Protein backbone atom coordinates (compact mmCIF):
# COMPACT_ATOMS: atom_id res chain seq x y z
CA UNK A 1 0.00 0.00 0.00
CA UNK A 2 2.77 2.38 0.84
CA UNK A 3 4.28 1.93 -2.62
CA UNK A 4 0.94 2.74 -4.28
CA UNK A 5 0.48 5.86 -2.11
CA UNK A 6 4.00 7.01 -3.05
CA UNK A 7 3.32 6.55 -6.78
CA UNK A 8 0.01 8.42 -6.47
CA UNK A 9 1.63 11.29 -4.57
CA UNK A 10 4.42 11.56 -7.14
CA UNK A 11 1.94 11.64 -10.03
CA UNK A 12 -0.11 14.33 -8.27
CA UNK A 13 2.98 16.48 -7.66
CA UNK A 14 4.05 16.21 -11.29
CA UNK A 15 0.59 17.12 -12.52
CA UNK A 16 0.52 20.17 -10.22
CA UNK A 17 3.93 21.30 -11.52
CA UNK A 18 2.72 20.98 -15.10
CA UNK A 19 -0.23 23.22 -14.23
CA UNK A 20 1.98 25.78 -12.47
CA UNK A 21 4.36 26.01 -15.44
CA UNK A 22 2.41 26.87 -18.59
CA UNK A 23 4.05 26.11 -21.91
CA UNK A 24 5.73 29.19 -23.40
CA UNK A 25 4.70 29.66 -27.01
CA UNK A 26 7.34 31.83 -28.68
CA UNK A 27 5.11 32.73 -31.59
CA UNK A 28 2.67 34.34 -29.15
CA UNK A 29 5.27 36.84 -27.85
CA UNK A 30 4.96 40.15 -29.68
CA UNK A 31 6.31 43.62 -28.99
CA UNK A 32 3.61 46.01 -27.82
CA UNK A 33 5.02 48.78 -30.02
CA UNK A 34 7.17 48.48 -33.12
CA UNK A 35 10.80 49.60 -33.20
CA UNK A 36 10.22 53.18 -34.17
CA UNK A 37 12.04 56.11 -35.72
CA UNK A 38 10.85 59.69 -35.49
CA UNK A 39 13.90 61.05 -37.33
CA UNK A 40 13.27 63.84 -39.80
CA UNK A 41 16.86 64.03 -41.03
CA UNK A 42 17.03 62.58 -44.50
CA UNK A 43 19.07 59.41 -44.85
CA UNK A 44 21.35 60.78 -47.56
CA UNK A 45 24.79 59.79 -48.74
CA UNK A 46 26.30 63.24 -48.31
CA UNK A 47 30.04 62.65 -48.17
CA UNK A 48 31.97 63.71 -45.09
CA UNK A 49 35.59 63.47 -43.98
CA UNK A 50 37.62 63.80 -40.81
CA UNK A 51 41.01 65.36 -41.55
CA UNK A 52 43.88 65.46 -39.07
CA UNK A 53 46.63 68.05 -39.04
CA UNK A 54 49.05 65.13 -39.31
CA UNK A 55 47.64 64.34 -42.76
CA UNK A 56 45.41 61.38 -41.90
CA UNK A 57 42.01 61.43 -43.64
CA UNK A 58 38.98 59.30 -42.76
CA UNK A 59 35.97 59.42 -45.09
CA UNK A 60 32.36 58.62 -44.31
CA UNK A 61 28.89 60.14 -44.60
CA UNK A 62 27.20 63.06 -42.87
CA UNK A 63 24.18 62.69 -40.58
CA UNK A 64 24.21 66.04 -38.75
CA UNK A 65 24.51 69.69 -39.71
CA UNK A 66 25.75 70.38 -43.24
CA UNK A 67 28.62 72.62 -42.20
CA UNK A 68 32.30 72.04 -41.52
CA UNK A 69 33.98 72.42 -38.14
CA UNK A 70 37.43 72.62 -36.55
CA UNK A 71 38.49 71.28 -33.15
CA UNK A 72 40.82 69.06 -31.18
CA UNK A 73 40.07 65.39 -31.93
CA UNK A 74 39.70 63.29 -28.77
CA UNK A 75 38.07 59.93 -28.06
CA UNK A 76 35.85 58.56 -25.32
CA UNK A 77 35.45 54.91 -24.37
CA UNK A 78 32.01 55.48 -22.84
CA UNK A 79 29.45 52.86 -23.83
CA UNK A 80 26.40 54.98 -23.00
CA UNK A 81 25.55 58.59 -22.21
CA UNK A 82 26.19 60.34 -25.52
CA UNK A 83 23.64 63.12 -24.75
CA UNK A 84 25.44 63.84 -21.47
CA UNK A 85 28.89 63.69 -23.07
CA UNK A 86 27.98 65.96 -25.96
CA UNK A 87 26.52 68.60 -23.61
CA UNK A 88 29.41 68.40 -21.12
CA UNK A 89 31.12 71.84 -21.14
CA UNK A 90 34.48 70.09 -20.68
CA UNK A 91 34.21 68.95 -24.34
CA UNK A 92 33.98 72.51 -25.60
CA UNK A 93 36.27 73.05 -28.60
CA UNK A 94 36.72 69.32 -29.24
CA UNK A 95 35.66 66.86 -31.95
CA UNK A 96 34.41 63.82 -30.07
CA UNK A 97 35.16 60.33 -31.40
CA UNK A 98 33.07 57.51 -29.89
CA UNK A 99 34.78 54.12 -29.61
CA UNK A 100 31.42 52.46 -28.96
CA UNK A 101 30.46 51.29 -32.49
CA UNK A 102 26.69 51.89 -32.38
CA UNK A 103 25.60 55.41 -31.42
CA UNK A 104 22.13 56.95 -31.52
CA UNK A 105 20.03 53.85 -30.86
CA UNK A 106 18.11 55.42 -27.95
CA UNK A 107 17.64 58.85 -29.50
CA UNK A 108 17.79 62.18 -27.68
CA UNK A 109 15.59 63.08 -24.68
CA UNK A 110 13.72 66.30 -23.98
CA UNK A 111 14.91 69.39 -22.11
CA UNK A 112 12.82 68.42 -19.08
CA UNK A 113 13.95 69.89 -15.74
CA UNK A 114 13.81 68.52 -12.21
CA UNK A 115 12.45 70.12 -9.03
CA UNK A 116 15.62 72.23 -8.70
CA UNK A 117 15.35 73.67 -12.21
CA UNK A 118 18.23 71.53 -13.51
CA UNK A 119 18.15 69.60 -16.78
CA UNK A 120 17.40 65.92 -16.17
CA UNK A 121 19.12 64.42 -19.19
CA UNK A 122 21.79 66.92 -20.27
CA UNK A 123 24.84 68.51 -18.65
CA UNK A 124 24.19 71.95 -20.18
CA UNK A 125 21.57 73.58 -22.38
CA UNK A 126 23.33 72.92 -25.71
CA UNK A 127 25.82 70.67 -27.49
CA UNK A 128 29.30 71.74 -26.42
CA UNK A 129 31.58 69.68 -28.69
CA UNK A 130 32.51 70.88 -32.18
CA UNK A 131 31.39 67.68 -33.88
CA UNK A 132 31.05 63.93 -33.40
CA UNK A 133 32.50 60.90 -35.18
CA UNK A 134 30.89 57.44 -34.96
CA UNK A 135 31.33 54.10 -36.66
CA UNK A 136 27.66 53.18 -37.05
CA UNK A 137 24.87 55.73 -36.64
CA UNK A 138 21.50 54.21 -35.70
CA UNK A 139 18.92 55.85 -37.96
CA UNK A 140 16.20 54.07 -35.97
CA UNK A 141 15.94 54.71 -32.25
CA UNK A 142 13.69 53.68 -29.39
CA UNK A 143 13.45 54.94 -25.81
CA UNK A 144 10.59 56.24 -23.70
CA UNK A 145 12.36 59.57 -23.05
CA UNK A 146 13.38 60.18 -26.69
CA UNK A 147 11.85 63.07 -28.62
CA UNK A 148 14.21 63.24 -31.61
CA UNK A 149 17.06 61.40 -33.30
CA UNK A 150 20.74 62.09 -32.75
CA UNK A 151 21.07 63.32 -36.33
CA UNK A 152 18.08 65.63 -35.97
CA UNK A 153 19.51 67.07 -32.76
CA UNK A 154 22.93 67.70 -34.33
CA UNK A 155 21.34 69.33 -37.38
CA UNK A 156 19.16 71.59 -35.24
CA UNK A 157 22.15 72.77 -33.17
CA UNK A 158 24.52 73.20 -36.12
CA UNK A 159 26.88 70.38 -35.14
CA UNK A 160 28.45 68.28 -37.93
CA UNK A 161 28.40 64.52 -37.48
CA UNK A 162 30.12 61.81 -39.50
CA UNK A 163 29.49 58.06 -39.58
CA UNK A 164 30.77 55.08 -41.52
CA UNK A 165 34.40 55.62 -40.54
CA UNK A 166 36.81 53.18 -38.91
CA UNK A 167 36.87 54.59 -35.38
CA UNK A 168 39.34 51.91 -34.29
CA UNK A 169 41.88 53.22 -36.79
CA UNK A 170 41.20 56.78 -35.61
CA UNK A 171 41.81 55.81 -31.98
CA UNK A 172 45.05 54.06 -32.93
CA UNK A 173 46.29 57.31 -34.49
CA UNK A 174 45.22 59.40 -31.49
CA UNK A 175 46.74 56.89 -29.09
CA UNK A 176 50.09 56.85 -30.91
CA UNK A 177 50.50 60.51 -31.83
CA UNK A 178 48.27 62.06 -29.19
CA UNK A 179 45.19 64.25 -29.41
CA UNK A 180 45.46 66.31 -32.58
CA UNK A 181 43.84 69.24 -34.32
CA UNK A 182 41.25 68.17 -36.86
CA UNK A 183 38.50 69.29 -39.21
CA UNK A 184 35.19 67.74 -40.23
CA UNK A 185 34.39 68.50 -43.87
CA UNK A 186 30.95 68.04 -45.41
CA UNK A 187 29.73 67.77 -49.01
CA UNK A 188 31.52 69.69 -51.75
CA UNK A 189 34.59 70.30 -49.59
CA UNK A 190 35.19 66.56 -49.45
CA UNK A 191 34.80 66.19 -53.21
CA UNK A 192 37.19 69.06 -53.90
CA UNK A 193 39.75 67.41 -51.58
CA UNK A 194 41.60 70.64 -50.90
CA UNK A 195 44.47 70.68 -48.45
CA UNK A 196 43.59 72.33 -45.15
CA UNK A 197 45.94 75.29 -44.78
CA UNK A 198 45.37 76.10 -41.13
CA UNK A 199 43.97 74.22 -38.13
CA UNK A 200 42.82 76.66 -35.39
CA UNK A 201 43.80 75.50 -31.90
CA UNK A 202 40.84 75.86 -29.50
CA UNK A 203 43.18 75.57 -26.50
CA UNK A 204 44.60 78.99 -27.37
CA UNK A 205 41.19 80.46 -26.52
CA UNK A 206 39.96 80.95 -22.98
CA UNK A 207 37.45 78.11 -23.12
CA UNK A 208 36.77 78.46 -19.40
CA UNK A 209 35.48 81.99 -19.93
CA UNK A 210 33.30 80.77 -22.81
CA UNK A 211 31.76 77.95 -20.75
CA UNK A 212 31.28 79.85 -17.49
CA UNK A 213 28.13 81.64 -16.41
CA UNK A 214 28.13 85.39 -16.94
CA UNK A 215 25.80 86.12 -14.04
CA UNK A 216 25.51 85.01 -10.42
CA UNK A 217 22.50 82.76 -9.74
CA UNK A 218 21.12 80.66 -6.89
CA UNK A 219 19.72 77.15 -6.55
CA UNK A 220 17.75 75.72 -3.63
CA UNK A 221 18.00 78.94 -1.56
CA UNK A 222 16.28 77.31 1.44
CA UNK A 223 19.07 74.75 1.93
CA UNK A 224 20.57 74.31 5.39
CA UNK A 225 24.15 75.16 4.33
CA UNK A 226 25.44 77.71 1.83
CA UNK A 227 27.93 76.61 -0.83
CA UNK A 228 29.66 78.97 -3.27
CA UNK A 229 30.33 77.33 -6.65
CA UNK A 230 32.95 78.74 -9.02
CA UNK A 231 31.71 77.88 -12.50
CA UNK A 232 34.52 76.99 -14.89
CA UNK A 233 32.05 75.00 -16.99
CA UNK A 234 30.05 73.22 -14.31
CA UNK A 235 27.91 70.18 -15.18
CA UNK A 236 24.23 70.09 -14.24
CA UNK A 237 24.62 66.87 -12.27
CA UNK A 238 27.36 68.36 -10.09
CA UNK A 239 24.94 71.07 -9.04
CA UNK A 240 22.27 68.41 -8.54
CA UNK A 241 24.58 66.41 -6.26
CA UNK A 242 24.98 69.50 -4.08
CA UNK A 243 21.38 70.74 -3.89
CA UNK A 244 19.88 67.25 -3.55
CA UNK A 245 21.93 66.88 -0.37
CA UNK A 246 20.36 69.99 1.12
CA UNK A 247 22.84 72.68 0.10
CA UNK A 248 21.85 76.19 -0.92
CA UNK A 249 24.09 76.90 -3.92
CA UNK A 250 25.23 80.22 -5.33
CA UNK A 251 27.02 79.96 -8.69
CA UNK A 252 29.66 82.57 -9.56
CA UNK A 253 31.59 83.24 -12.80
CA UNK A 254 35.04 81.65 -13.10
CA UNK A 255 36.96 84.89 -12.42
CA UNK A 256 34.85 86.17 -9.51
CA UNK A 257 36.89 87.08 -6.42
CA UNK A 258 35.11 84.79 -4.01
CA UNK A 259 37.36 85.84 -1.12
CA UNK A 260 35.22 88.97 -0.78
CA UNK A 261 32.14 86.93 0.12
CA UNK A 262 33.53 83.63 1.40
CA UNK A 263 32.74 84.50 5.02
CA UNK A 264 29.04 84.38 4.04
CA UNK A 265 29.31 80.73 2.95
CA UNK A 266 30.00 77.41 4.63
CA UNK A 267 32.04 75.93 1.80
CA UNK A 268 33.58 76.58 -1.61
CA UNK A 269 33.36 74.32 -4.68
CA UNK A 270 35.55 74.61 -7.81
CA UNK A 271 33.99 73.01 -10.89
CA UNK A 272 35.14 71.16 -13.97
CA UNK A 273 35.80 73.00 -17.22
CA UNK A 274 37.26 72.83 -20.74
CA UNK A 275 40.69 73.46 -22.19
CA UNK A 276 44.01 74.43 -20.66
CA UNK A 277 43.71 75.20 -16.93
CA UNK A 278 46.44 77.83 -17.29
CA UNK A 279 43.82 80.02 -18.98
CA UNK A 280 42.13 80.40 -15.57
CA UNK A 281 45.02 81.94 -13.64
CA UNK A 282 42.65 84.45 -12.02
CA UNK A 283 40.92 81.55 -10.26
CA UNK A 284 44.31 80.10 -9.28
CA UNK A 285 45.32 83.40 -7.66
CA UNK A 286 42.02 83.62 -5.80
CA UNK A 287 42.51 80.07 -4.51
CA UNK A 288 46.04 80.83 -3.37
CA UNK A 289 44.62 83.68 -1.29
CA UNK A 290 41.90 81.44 0.16
CA UNK A 291 44.47 78.80 1.13
CA UNK A 292 46.22 81.39 3.34
CA UNK A 293 43.08 82.25 5.28
CA UNK A 294 43.73 81.58 9.00
CA UNK A 295 40.09 80.47 9.36
CA UNK A 296 39.70 78.38 6.20
CA UNK A 297 36.37 77.22 4.83
CA UNK A 298 36.08 73.69 3.34
CA UNK A 299 37.08 73.69 -0.35
CA UNK A 300 36.42 70.87 -2.81
CA UNK A 301 37.28 70.71 -6.52
CA UNK A 302 36.48 68.35 -9.39
CA UNK A 303 38.36 67.81 -12.67
CA UNK A 304 39.66 71.25 -13.68
CA UNK A 305 38.99 72.22 -10.07
CA UNK A 306 41.65 69.68 -9.10
CA UNK A 307 44.14 71.23 -11.52
CA UNK A 308 43.43 74.79 -10.40
CA UNK A 309 43.74 73.88 -6.72
CA UNK A 310 46.98 72.02 -7.45
CA UNK A 311 48.44 75.03 -9.25
CA UNK A 312 47.44 77.27 -6.35
CA UNK A 313 49.21 74.83 -4.02
CA UNK A 314 52.45 75.08 -6.03
CA UNK A 315 52.14 72.17 -8.47
CA UNK A 316 52.41 72.35 -12.26
CA UNK A 317 50.16 70.88 -14.97
CA UNK A 318 50.98 69.05 -18.18
CA UNK A 319 49.04 67.84 -21.20
CA UNK A 320 48.35 64.11 -21.39
CA UNK A 321 49.11 62.40 -24.69
CA UNK A 322 45.51 61.44 -25.43
CA UNK A 323 43.71 62.16 -22.15
CA UNK A 324 41.47 60.00 -19.99
CA UNK A 325 37.88 60.04 -21.22
CA UNK A 326 35.40 57.31 -20.38
CA UNK A 327 33.43 55.59 -17.63
CA UNK A 328 35.92 52.88 -16.70
CA UNK A 329 39.00 54.60 -15.25
CA UNK A 330 40.36 53.01 -12.03
CA UNK A 331 41.43 55.44 -9.29
CA UNK A 332 43.23 54.28 -6.14
CA UNK A 333 42.59 56.05 -2.83
CA UNK A 334 46.04 56.52 -1.30
CA UNK A 335 44.53 56.67 2.17
CA UNK A 336 43.04 53.17 2.26
CA UNK A 337 44.25 51.52 -0.96
CA UNK A 338 40.71 51.07 -2.25
CA UNK A 339 40.30 51.20 -6.04
CA UNK A 340 37.15 52.77 -7.49
CA UNK A 341 35.95 52.77 -11.09
CA UNK A 342 35.41 56.39 -12.11
CA UNK A 343 34.08 58.54 -14.93
CA UNK A 344 36.67 60.89 -16.40
CA UNK A 345 37.03 63.58 -19.05
CA UNK A 346 40.29 65.50 -19.05
CA UNK A 347 43.31 66.15 -21.24
CA UNK A 348 45.53 67.74 -18.58
CA UNK A 349 46.87 66.44 -15.27
CA UNK A 350 48.82 67.65 -12.25
CA UNK A 351 52.55 67.01 -12.14
CA UNK A 352 52.71 65.43 -8.69
CA UNK A 353 56.15 63.79 -8.70
CA UNK A 354 57.14 65.95 -5.72
CA UNK A 355 54.34 64.29 -3.74
CA UNK A 356 56.14 60.98 -3.30
CA UNK A 357 54.72 58.56 -0.71
CA UNK A 358 55.16 60.12 2.71
CA UNK A 359 56.07 63.54 1.27
CA UNK A 360 54.02 66.72 1.10
CA UNK A 361 54.25 70.13 -0.56
CA UNK A 362 53.05 73.05 1.53
CA UNK A 363 50.91 70.59 3.48
CA UNK A 364 49.45 68.88 0.38
CA UNK A 365 49.61 65.16 -0.39
CA UNK A 366 48.39 62.71 -3.03
CA UNK A 367 44.78 61.68 -2.59
CA UNK A 368 44.01 59.46 -5.62
CA UNK A 369 46.19 57.93 -8.36
CA UNK A 370 45.14 56.44 -11.71
CA UNK A 371 45.82 52.69 -11.70
CA UNK A 372 46.32 52.61 -15.48
CA UNK A 373 48.86 55.34 -16.18
CA UNK A 374 49.85 56.52 -12.69
CA UNK A 375 48.63 60.07 -13.32
CA UNK A 376 47.29 62.21 -10.51
CA UNK A 377 43.63 61.76 -9.62
CA UNK A 378 43.40 64.02 -6.57
CA UNK A 379 45.16 65.94 -3.81
CA UNK A 380 44.26 66.96 -0.27
CA UNK A 381 45.66 69.07 2.54
CA UNK A 382 46.89 67.23 5.59
CA UNK A 383 45.57 69.83 8.06
CA UNK A 384 43.09 72.17 6.39
CA UNK A 385 39.71 71.06 4.92
CA UNK A 386 40.88 71.22 1.29
CA UNK A 387 40.65 68.37 -1.23
CA UNK A 388 40.05 67.79 -4.93
CA UNK A 389 39.72 64.92 -7.40
CA UNK A 390 40.44 64.67 -11.11
CA UNK A 391 37.58 62.30 -11.87
CA UNK A 392 33.83 62.92 -11.75
CA UNK A 393 32.12 61.53 -8.62
CA UNK A 394 28.73 62.66 -9.96
CA UNK A 395 29.28 60.42 -13.04
CA UNK A 396 26.43 61.06 -15.44
CA UNK A 397 26.74 58.70 -17.09
CA UNK A 398 29.07 56.26 -15.42
CA UNK A 399 29.68 54.60 -12.05
CA UNK A 400 28.76 56.36 -8.82
CA UNK A 401 31.30 54.58 -6.61
CA UNK A 402 32.81 57.86 -5.39
CA UNK A 403 29.68 59.98 -4.95
CA UNK A 404 30.34 59.78 -1.20
CA UNK A 405 32.91 62.55 -1.70
CA UNK A 406 30.03 65.04 -1.94
CA UNK A 407 28.80 63.82 1.45
CA UNK A 408 32.25 64.24 2.98
CA UNK A 409 32.54 67.79 1.63
CA UNK A 410 29.07 68.83 2.79
CA UNK A 411 29.61 67.24 6.19
CA UNK A 412 32.69 69.44 6.59
CA UNK A 413 30.62 72.45 5.53
CA UNK A 414 27.93 71.61 8.09
CA UNK A 415 30.58 71.27 10.78
CA UNK A 416 31.93 74.67 9.73
CA UNK A 417 28.48 76.20 10.03
CA UNK A 418 27.97 74.65 13.48
CA UNK A 419 31.31 76.03 14.61
CA UNK A 420 30.48 79.53 13.36
CA UNK A 421 27.03 79.49 14.98
CA UNK A 422 28.28 78.26 18.36
CA UNK A 423 27.61 80.80 21.14
CA UNK A 424 28.61 80.90 24.80
CA UNK A 425 26.02 79.66 27.31
CA UNK A 426 25.79 83.13 28.86
CA UNK A 427 25.65 86.18 26.62
CA UNK A 428 26.37 89.26 28.72
CA UNK A 429 28.47 92.37 28.55
CA UNK A 430 29.13 92.22 32.30
CA UNK A 431 31.85 90.12 33.93
CA UNK A 432 30.51 86.80 35.21
CA UNK A 433 30.71 87.72 38.90
CA UNK A 434 28.66 86.10 41.67
CA UNK A 435 26.34 89.07 41.67
CA UNK A 436 25.73 88.85 37.93
CA UNK A 437 24.99 85.12 38.08
CA UNK A 438 22.55 85.62 40.98
CA UNK A 439 20.76 88.51 39.29
CA UNK A 440 17.00 87.80 38.91
CA UNK A 441 15.91 86.94 35.38
CA UNK A 442 13.48 89.44 33.93
CA UNK A 443 10.64 87.72 32.10
CA UNK A 444 9.10 89.72 29.28
CA UNK A 445 5.42 88.90 28.66
Catalytic annotation, pick one of 189, 210, 365, 394? 394
User: What is the average pLDDT score of the chain?
Assistant: 87
CA distances from 241 to 157, 306, 363, 393 (A): 28, 18, 28, 9
Catalytic annotation, pick one of 154, 185, 303, 381? 303
Q: Is 241 a catalytic site residue? A: no
Question: Residue range 69-73: average pLDDT?
Answer: 97
- The Cα–Cα gap between 196 and 183 comes to 8
Q: How confident is the model at residue 396 (pLDDT cuts 50, 70, 90)?
A: confident
Choose the weakest-confidence range: 65-74, 357-366, 381-390.
Answer: 357-366
Q: Would the CA dihedral through 76, 81, 83, 84 be positive or negative?
A: negative
Residue 196 has pLDDT above 80, yes or no: no
- The Cα–Cα gap between 212 and 232 comes to 5
Q: Dmax over Cα atoms in the chain, in whole Å? A: 102
Question: Residue range 397-422: average pLDDT?
Answer: 89
Question: Residue range 82-94: average pLDDT?
Answer: 98
Q: Is 394 a catalytic site residue? A: yes
Could you tell me the domains of the chain?
A: 47-204 (3.50.30.20), 208-421 (3.40.50.880)
Give the three-class secondary structure for 164: coil
Q: How many CA atoms lie within 13 A of 146 on its CB side?
A: 22
**Which pLDDT belongs to residue 428?**
34
Distance of CA 253 to the CA centre of its chain: 18
Residue 21 has pLDDT above 90, yes or no: no
Residue 386 has pLDDT above 90, yes or no: yes
**Which pLDDT belongs to residue 69?**
96
pTM as predicted: 0.84
Please, are residues 299 and 290 in contact by the beta-carbon 8 Å criterion? yes
Amino acid sequence: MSILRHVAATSLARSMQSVARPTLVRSAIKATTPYRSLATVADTATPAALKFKSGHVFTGTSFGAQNSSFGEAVFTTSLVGYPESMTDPSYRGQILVFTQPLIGNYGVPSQEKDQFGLLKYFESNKIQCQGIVVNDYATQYSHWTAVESLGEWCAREGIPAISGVDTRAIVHVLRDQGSTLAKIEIGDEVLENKQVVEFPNPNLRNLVSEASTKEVYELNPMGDIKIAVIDCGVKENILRCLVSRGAAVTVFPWNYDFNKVLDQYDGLFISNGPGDPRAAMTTVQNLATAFKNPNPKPIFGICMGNQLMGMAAGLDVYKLQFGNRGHNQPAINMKNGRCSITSQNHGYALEDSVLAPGKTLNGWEKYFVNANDGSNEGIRHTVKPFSSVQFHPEAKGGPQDTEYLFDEFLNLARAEKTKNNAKPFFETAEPLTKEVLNKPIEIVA
